[in-house]
Each structure stands twice: as structure tokens, then as C-alpha cells.
Structure 1
């Protein structure tokens, strides 16, 4: 019986691999510089160290594919960038967004600009053509960490590239030095642009910060389900073994239900469980912060012993949730109409070379799944080989990915 299951999985695996489309790949990242002189000077003074530029998050808007490059180490040229999708280059240079100046660390004594970008992990594009940027404000994270500007949400109008608003987190949103905000999920429709909500997971402080655009205020939510699983923090990816304690990280929103709210599916990175809660809870400050709301959260199920995931994204048309699979070098799906268990949690893409550490996924308006893999454990704990392809962006169709699987249920 076991051998039969393995054989069937292998057959499905071969069919799925043919659907992956290699879009971009890099050995090292390069950028569109103001001039060759500026690049040369940056290389000389250490403002640009190619080895230290690792892509991490992505999101598509029209003909732009946004790619983030957090300042894990010194020498990151620009943290928020985009690639024109009409390029014919396989390893294109990144264009800083909203411009080059905004991505430069202010010199001593300089006042940060209103649209300042320091270090971004993930971004989110909403139905109102706005780019939501989770700005950590933290530079040289793995070296000599410096909080250049406060942790904040920066919101840009993609049609004008102008900053609409920046919201600095309050002291009550932050849990001392433990807090680390690396993701932002936006709850809005094109008819409710002025009533948007953002959900920002705190992977180090084990909480979620909810931001109301209409009220321009935020509140912190805590729950036991936001914590990591101590039995699932030991992982091996790309031949590197490491132990992480990252809590709530991936959040994906289901379709609007009959009461006008959505289901928020979430998980800690160091966990193989998936949980959910109605956004009706999160969006109500008094309810969200009341300890009596504990039982309004639900355990959806278990994704398997190596089911740790970073990012997740929901396709409303098919009602399917997609997740990265860090230890499986792949992407998996689950249809919430079925119980979350091994038989219904399907690996739809796997490649032990191209998908080493699938750091982020994002579904665009045309229902393509964009995938970014970056070998991050090697980057952090060892050293990437600049002669090898280290970073990749791939994509696949939602419908083709789930065809013939339990996710079509």
C-alpha cells in the first residue's frame, strides 16, 4: 500500500513539474544605479556588497514585479525594488522603488525622508492599486543591528508612486526587543478602499498587530496559537540544519462570507499546524484583545511532519490555500472545504534544486502563483557560491497546479 502511494505521488509529481515556468534567476543581484561611478564608489566603500543582497518577498502589479531585499547584512543597495515584466533578461537588474534616493540609508545627521525605505521583507498589493510595505526600519540585522527609523506600514499609490501614508507602530504594538515584523496582509475590496485593515504578524513577539486605515490606529492581539511548536523548530533545508523559534508568520485571507467578513488562515513558521479565525474577531478591537475570545480561534489540522511553511496565499475562485513547503523544496495546496490532513494536503510543485527554501509566494490578479526561492539558510549560516544560481523566481497557474488533486474538491 505504501509503495503504491509513493508511485502515485511520483506520477503526479512529474506532471506538476512541467507546469513550473522559470521566469528569473540570479547568481548575484544587481541594480539600476544612478551612474557607473555611483556603483563603483558603493563597491569601494562597502555600501554595495553583492554577496549580501538576498531577495526575499515578491508581489505583482500590472507590468511590475516587486522584489524586496532586506538588510540582513551591510551592503544592501536597495531594499524595495521592481522588475519590468516586459524585460527579456533572464537575470534583470532591480529598479529601486519609489526611487533610488528613498532606498539609501540616511547619513548621520540627515532627517529620513517621508518615503524612506530601510529594510523590507514582504509587501502586499491591494485591490485599490496600493502597495503596502512592512518597513522594519532595521539595518544590518545579522551584524550590528541599527534601528534607523521606527517599524511602520508605508502605503504607496501605485498609479503615482507617491506615499499616501506612513503609520508608525505604537509602543503597545511592540513587545520589546522580541518583536519582529516581516509580513503584512491587507483586508479590503475595491469598494471599501477607505475601510481597509492590515494584519501584521509578529514572529518574534508571538502576536498580530491589526491596523485600521479608516481610524489610523492599531491594536495588538495575542493568542497561544501564535506561538511556535517546540517540536517543529528543527529543520534541514539545502543541506543546512538549523533551529528556529519563529512564531506566527503566514496569514492568508479567504473569500468574504455571508456576514461580510473573511476567514484568516495562519500558522507559525516553526510549526506544522494551521489555524484560523474570523476577521470579525481581529477587526473588533475590544473583542480581539479580550481573553474571552480565545475559543473563537480554530485548529484546522496538521500538514505533516515536515510541513513548515513561511508564506501562504489564497485563491478565492477555487477556494484553495497555497503554502510554501520549506523542508520539502516545494509548494503545497489545501482546500478548506476538506479536513486538513495528509491526504488533503497536496504537494503541487517540488524541485530539490530550483525550490530550495521557497521563501515567498503570491497570487496575482490573473491567478498566477509567483514563487521566490533564495537558499536563505545557506546565506545565513554558510556562504552562497557566486558561481551558482542562488535566487529564482518561478510561476505556475492556479488551475493547472490543482488539476486532478484533492484541492479541486
Structure 2
């Protein structure tokens, strides 16, 4: 095929995906404060510094949009926020509400959220929230809480269904960074979590049924020196980041696979979920290197039809790969490239109406202390794809997700089985 024919062919492929449109766009992130006096006091004390607030993750449930704002620097009063999923009165830079409350944002209080980078919402409307347990800023590093998983019920007044603190051998209190999460409805409910720990990176596996966790480690999950440095919008980024983006093949697939990549890597990897669930110490034979990407990737997402979406940071682009039909080496293709709107595609999400969303946050400016709050910095862009996320079957229906026992503490299946005997002994 001649070069011009190949270019025309590739252009045709790209154009078959509906273009992204900007739906939300912020110069700076502000909040619905309890009062204007509270806001002014926070600014005066340095508890709110607009340039230090940025968005990493957005998820959707019904008419609401939930956003995470990790506390990488001082002056981030809210680490988990909420707003309408659609602009109201044409306002595309809405103020965020603290979610679920302002009390749940208090620094140094281990019952409140300290640093939330990501979360996921299951098919029942339960939000699985990753709390690293400490801000990464210097002034606020006194907060010393355990990394944990908190599950809230969006359908029942945001009731806490489960709080689980990861043990030290799974997520280190001083160095863990809970980055991203995907959910598996099988085997009593499972979560797979990337821990971008600077010294002990890996994929954490959490069992909802057993309320237990473990970590899988492998060299493929570590940053690679060749990919540590890159350019975004003429800004140099040098930052070794271990395993980051993660995706799970859709609910209808057999032999489900986890897909992952360190941010500092050009390679995409996969591993079957059974190897993770069985807590195998040596997973060399199960890890598969699928091929090389043209750039580093932050977040990724899987559709219910088996299409993997991922960002290409140094290319200001979003790419996709149909995991069911073609090998990654020849099947990956760019669906959107915009050197303004898609600077640092950080994360992705699907809503209930068949829309596909991407958070772009120009993170290269934040990392280099170059955020200009007089220009747009954070965007949510949207494309119509008419499918749902990986938790659903291809026809749009949802599998049965395991039930929860309400409350931060719960009765294990073993203890539940022993309750009748315990009751008889007490009576006697």
C-alpha cells in the first residue's frame, strides 16, 4: 500500500469515532463552601490554594458526577467532590460539593478521606473509594492513616457499607499510593487496585466476600528508565511512576484478563484474573506483554464490548484497541488528537446514557509549578459510543453483584455460621 493510501485509510478509521466535545472546563476548582467566611478563612490560612486543586478521576451515577482531587500539595480542602452530570444554566465550570460531607474531608482525621485519587461505582450504585491515608504535601504529611477502601451506598443516603484498612504487608502506610481500581462481580466480589508505591509497587487484590487482601508484584509493574522522561506541550516531565492504569475485560468474557501499564512504560501487559485471585507468588508464566505503545499512558478503561481505551501522554491523544478481534500490535489506533484539549488524558468513564468521558488536566503544568488559573486547565470531554463499561454485559444488562452487609464492620461468613452455636452457649 502506498503511503498516501495508508494515510487516507488511517484517517478514515479515526473519523469513524465520534469527535469529543468539551462539556466541562475549569480555570480553577472552587467549592460550595458552608459560607463565604469559611472560604475566606481557608484562603487566609492557606487551606485553600486554587492552583493546587486538580481533577484526576470522574465517575457517573444517574444525574450526578463524582470527582477526585488528590492532595499532592497544600491547600486542597476537598479530595472527593460532586456536581451535576450536566451543566446547569450553561455553567461549564461548576463549584463542587464536598462528598459526602465537609466532615469527611478533614485532614488528620483517619475516619475522613485524606487523599482520594480514584474510585469506582458498581452496578448497584455502590462507590468504592481508595484513600491513600496521607497527603503527599510536606506541610500536611503529619496525617498518618492507613491506606483503606471505603464503600458507600449512593442509593441509601451514602451509607458506609464497608471500611477496610489494608495491612502493612499489602499497602505500606508511609509509601503506598492507591491509584486506580476495577471491580469484578465474580467469586463473591473482587477489586483490583494499582498501588503506585515508590518502593513496593504492585496490584492489590481485595476480596469482598472474605474481607481480605493481598498484593501481586512483578517486574512488568515497575517503571522503565527509557520511559521516565517525555514532553507534553513543550513541557518536560521527568517522573518515574510505577503501575498506574488498569482495566478489566468485560463481564461477558471468559478467562477474564487484567490489563495494566506503568505510567513510565511504553508497554501494555495482561494477566488472567485467576492468577491474581489465587495469590500466586510467581506469575511470570501468566504475564503477557501485548506490545508497545507510541507513548506513556496514565489511565485506561474497558467497554462492555471489549474495547480498551487509553491515553498517549506525549502525543496529546486518546487511543483504542478492540481486544476481541485484533492483536494489540496492529489493532491499536488513535481516535482523537488535540494539542490543546487533550493535554494529559488522565482517566476515563462511561455514563448510563452511552457516553464516554475523558478527564484531561494538563498535569505537566502542575508538576512543573506552572498552573495559570487565568486559562482553562481542567476539562471533561465526551464522545457518544452507545455502550456501557466493563461491568455490564454486551447487551447492556448487568450481572448480579454480591450483597453487602451494612456497616463499617461486618460479620464474616464463618462467624455467621457459628452464631447459632454461640447463641445456644450464651443461653445455657
TM-score, normalised by the number of residues in structure 1: 0.87
Moved more, 175-184 or 242-251: 175-184
Does the CA contact (< 8 Å) of 1:61 and 1:364 recur in 2?
Answer: yes
Distance in 2 separating the partners of 1:67 and 1:390: 15
Q: Per-residue displacement from partner, 1:364-408 (whole Å, max 9, x unpaired)? A: 3333211111111111213211111011011112259xxxxxxxx
Distance in 2 separating the partners of 1:105 and 1:119: 9
* 2:284 is the alignment partner of 1:294: yes
Distance in 2 separating the partners of 1:233 and 1:137: 26
**How far 1:229 moved relative to its partner?**
2.1
* 2:112 is the alignment partner of 1:119: no
* 2:180 is the alignment partner of 1:183: yes
Secondary structure at the aligned position of 1:93 is classed as coil
Larger Rg: 2
Secondary structure at the aligned position of 1:379 is classed as helix
Aligned residues: 380
Moved more, 75-84 or 199-208: 199-208
Distance in 2 separating the partners of 1:142 and 1:352: 33
* 2:269 is the alignment partner of 1:281: no
Q: Per-residue displacement from partner, 1:45-72 (whole Å, max 9, x unpaired)? A: 1111111111111111111111111111
What corresponds to 1:74 in structure 2?
74
Secondary structure at the aligned position of 2:284 is classed as helix
Indicate which of 188, 194, 197 corresponds to 2:190: 197
**How far 1:331 moved relative to its partner?**
1.1
Does the CA contact (< 8 Å) of 1:127 and 1:188 recur in 2?
Answer: no
Q: How does 1:6-405 map to 2 (within 5 A)?
A: 6-10=7-11, 16=17, 19-86=19-86, 87-88=88-89, 89-106=91-108, 112-113=110-111, 116-141=112-137, 145-159=141-155, 160-174=157-171, 177-188=174-185, 195-204=188-197, 205-256=200-251, 261-285=255-279, 288=280, 290-291=281-282, 293-304=283-294, 306=295, 308-317=296-305, 319-336=306-323, 337-341=325-329, 343-398=330-385
Distance in 1 separating the partners of 2:159 and 2:327: 44
Distance in 2 separating the partners of 1:158 and 1:144: 30
Secondary structure at the aligned position of 1:300 is classed as strand
Moved more, 146-155 or 116-125: 146-155
Does the CA contact (< 8 Å) of 1:250 and 1:311 recur in 2?
Answer: yes
Does the CA contact (< 8 Å) of 2:144 and 2:173 recur in 1?
Answer: no
Distance in 1 separating the partners of 2:298 and 2:158: 29
Unaligned runs of 5+ residues in structure 2 are 388-428
**How far 1:3 moved relative to its partner?**
4.7
Distance in 1 separating the partners of 2:34 and 2:173: 38
Q: Per-residue displacement from partner, 1:110-159 (whole Å, max 9, x unpaired)? A: x543xx11111111111121101110122243666344421111111111
Distance in 1 separating the partners of 2:103 and 2:173: 30
Secondary structure at the aligned position of 2:178 is classed as coil
**Aligned residues: CA RMSD:** 2.1
TM-score, normalised by the number of residues in structure 2: 0.83
Distance in 2 separating the partners of 1:12 and 1:376: 29
